Amino acid sequence: MTNYKQLYPIIGIVLLSLFINSAKSDTPLGDCFSSRSTWYEAVEHGNCGYGPLTGETGPGNRFIAAAATVLYNGSAVCGECFEVNGPMGTQVVTIVDQCPDPGWCDTSFPHLDLSPEAFAVIGGSGVGVTMTTAKKVACDYVTGNIKLKMKDADTTASWFEFMIFNHKVGIASVDVETADGKTYSLPRRLYNYWTFNNAAAKFPVIAHVTSIYGERVDVYIKAPTGNQISEGEGQFSAPKDLKLTNTNCTAPLSVDPSGWIYNDGLVKPLNYSHPNLGWTDWSNGVTVNWADASTGGGATGSSKTVVSGSMPVNTGIQIGTDLPLNWKGIFTNLEFYIKGDAAFSGLIVQYSPGTEIPTPVTTTWTKFSYALDTDMGAPESLGKPTVLKFRTGGTAASPGKIYIDKIRLTPVAASA
């Protein structure tokens, strides 16, 4: 006899997962762009004026971001949502704050400083910085009508200011129409309030709130009483007919997709605008010339080589990146050319704590290629920096200069 009862839990699970999937992908409002994220702890009371995140005027969740100056755009971006794609996952965040950090945020790069909860989803919490892609989306979690909150102090009929919250898409402008038929266009402050500063307005007034897509929702304000919340007559819709060409964002590689680490210079693959990112010189005890043109390169077309002075005992050329390196399924080997002014048998190549490969140096260029079969950063050790060392074995100094060229991670396609 068939036991039909068994079907119910299965159907329940299917419906639940359909619901979760549809809730996960918010309506795209922009194309993917390259971004970068760090995280910060003081997430309550951001510059957008929403107060505590789960308070009366907050987004009601802790998935938020502070936008770099270029994105913050004088508070125009407040309350808008972005989907952020990092190496560990994807998370939609609401902009509630401006990121003030001069190093990360005061550049032309669209950096997003995330709450710890959001960063844990997209990047893990170890290194503290990750490259991402992002796109603007509708805040599909928002329910009910848009709302307005009058400032909590000193408001009068001739000076009052308010903040708009609980809106699905960005706000472009606010006009106030008074009971005697006058209309005023209000300026927006850096702290996301709209200010009325004129002859006394006759109340009730109507705030005409226009979205960045030209839709208008009205909010009736009975009196200029401080701290009052007024509910709007509706909610904005997310336009579906935007001509978007690239909304399928994938998390970027933290390194150059063709694998170059050194190619006539250390490679900084993405639009990095911070010295900690990309491959950089982490050498220990030796001074490295990263653009030596005194000897021919190790491969055709190469004009410069990495060269160090002779390496004292326990020193070496080190190249590192603060970002975890995701190599599985993308790169197969570490390859490089090497030679010395004199033969040297004490060189160790090390690209993970457990990998120490003795590598003979001769006076002619020789290519080596080592399999990346052990961890070189992410995904297993997300949170660790990646470092590549060419160092002395600890018993002898190199008898002359060591030259290295064309250091690369071999892409899967190139090795097939």
Ligand X SMILES: *[C@@H]1O[C@H](CO)[C@@H](O)[C@H](O)[C@H]1NC(C)=O
Beta-carbon count within 10 A of 322 CB? 20
Q: How far is the CB of 412 from ligand X (least distance, A)?
A: 15
Share in percent of the chain as helix, strand, coil (round to 5): 10, 35, 55
Helices and strands in the chain, H and E counts: 5, 25
Residue 213 or 220 with smaller CB distance to ligand X: 213
Residue 195 or 271 with smaller CB distance to ligand X: 271
Q: How far is the CB of 358 from ligand X (least distance, A)?
A: 37
Q: How far is the CB of 315 from ligand X (least distance, A)?
A: 35
CB of 233 closer than 8 Å to CB of 218: yes
Instruction: Give the one residue of 30, 31, 34, 282 binding ligand X; rule: CB under 6 A.
Output: 34
Residue 21 DSSP one-character state? H
Using DSSP, state whether 320 is helix, strand or coil: strand
Contact pattern for ligand X over residues 44 through 83, marking x by CB under 6 A? -----------------------------xx-x-------
Residue 232 DSSP one-character state? B
Rule CB under 6 A: is residue 310 a binding residue for ligand X?
no
Q: How far is the CB of 250 from ligand X (least distance, A)?
A: 5
Contacts with 4 (C-beta within 8 Å, 6 or more apart), sequence order:
none
Q: How far is the CB of 327 from ligand X (least distance, A)?
A: 18
CA distances (Å), origin 413, targets 145, 326, 328, 379: 52, 16, 13, 20
Rule CB under 6 A: is residue 248 a binding residue for ligand X?
yes
Contact pattern for ligand X over residues 253 through 272, marking x by CB under 6 A? -----------------xx-
Rule CB under 6 A: is residue 108 a binding residue for ligand X?
no
In whole angstroms, give the CA distance from residue 344 to residue 115. Answer: 51
Using alpha carbons, select from 174, 176, 168 the residue that is nearest to residue 188: 174
Contact pattern for ligand X over residues 352 through 371, marking x by CB under 6 A? --------------------
Residues forming contacts to ligand X in the complex (CB under 6 A) are 34, 73-74, 76, 248, 250, 270-271
